[in-house]
Amino acid sequence: MNINVCNKKYTIEQKVNNILQALDFIKTKLDRSLAYRSGCKSGVCGSCAIRVNGVERLACKTDIKDGDTIEPLKNSMIIKDLVVDIEQREEILKKVDPSIKTKSDLEISAKDEKKIDKETNCILCGSCYSACAVFEVNKEFIGPFALVKSYRYIEDKKESEILSKIDAIQDKGVWDCTLCGGCDMVCPAHIPIKNNIMQLQNKSVMLGYNNPNMANYGSGFDTTVDFGFNPNQF
């Protein structure tokens, strides 16, 4: 079986079940210099996210086929081969204040817990940032996994102070997302990210925030605005 890793062709002569096993084969038998991250080999540590034929996948949970093309995640600086710089994730997460600020005394039911079940399964693999069309052009965008994190604490009944968390996701946050759903398609934890962001938008409106894009759009009807150049002297 032949596969292409970072523009290099390798022949895998041993039976392997998934991409990670193929990378391990290359590393230990063919090319000692190949760099990639891995860990749990069972889909929970988030280390081995890469792109297979252009689509973000976990190497350990992706079956291999002849001719596969393996590349690093997009939208991050490549350190070497399949290893991208993920150091900035810490700062991205800090933007959304990812922790319970004031603990409420409300009782938590199974239904309450289920509400954030999927979101608390995020493994921070970074696939969603790689697939994000907005992040691709605007690196200031808070982005998918941080917004999931925000959702997870805002919807957590244990948190009684959500206003500051909602405030933190207004600028370059929920309204910058185009709701294209690209992140949903690649999330290995099956988190409904687009839906989470839509709900965060709704919550923002309920708490008195406006969609700034709509506000700008509306300003065109404001007759007091000076449009500057006016060739017909109206």
Partner 1 sequence: MIDLLIIGSGGAALSAALSATQNGKSVVVLSKTYPTASQTSQAQGGINGVIGSDDTVQNHISDTIRSAHGLGDQKSIEFMCKNGSDTIAWLDDMGVAFSRDQDNNIAQRKLGGATNARACYSSDYTGLKILHTLYDRALKENIKFLNEKIALNIIVEDETAVGLTYLDIKNSEVKTIKAKNIVIATGGYSGIYHNYTTNSTATTGDGVALALKAGCKLANMEYIQFHPTSIKGTGVLVSESARAEGGYLVTKNGDRFIDELKPRDEVARAIYQKIQDGQSVYLDLRHLGYEKIKEAMPQEYELVLQFASKYLDKDLIEIEPAAHYTMGGIKTDMAGQTNIKNLYAVGEVASNGVHGANRLGGNSLLEIITFGKYIGDIATYSTNNITNIDTLLEIAKIKEEENIKKLFHSSIKLDFYEKRDNLGETFFKNVGLFRDEKKLNIALKHIEQLQDDIQYMGVEDKSAIYNTNLKEFIEFKNMLEISKSIILSALYRKESRGAHYRVDFQDEKENYSFDTVSYKIDDDIKIENQN
Residues that bind partner 1 (CB under 8 A): 17, 27-29, 32-47, 61, 79-81, 83, 86-87, 89-90, 93-94, 97-100, 103, 107-110, 112-113, 116-117, 120-124, 149, 153, 156, 158-159
In the sheet that 49-52 helps form, which strands lie side by side, from edge to edge? 8-11, 2-5, 69-71, 49-52, 55-58
In the complex, minimum distance from the CB of residue 183 to partner 1, in angstroms, rounded to a whole number = 18
In the complex, minimum distance from the CB of residue 175 to partner 1, in angstroms, rounded to a whole number = 24
Cβ proximity to partner 1: between 40 and 180 the closer is 40
User: How far apart are alpha carbons 174 and 182 in whole angstroms?
Assistant: 15
Residue 144 corresponds to which amino acid?
Answer: P
Cβ proximity to partner 1: between 43 and 181 the closer is 43
Cβ proximity to partner 1: between 23 and 177 the closer is 23
Q: Which of 148, 99, 154 is nearest to 122 (CA)?
A: 148
b/e per residue 115-148 (b: at least 16 CB within 10 A): bbebbeebbbbbbbbbbbebbeeeeebbbbbbbb
Cβ proximity to partner 1: between 124 and 175 the closer is 124
In the complex, minimum distance from the CB of residue 98 to partner 1, in angstroms, rounded to a whole number = 4
In the complex, minimum distance from the CB of residue 180 to partner 1, in angstroms, rounded to a whole number = 26
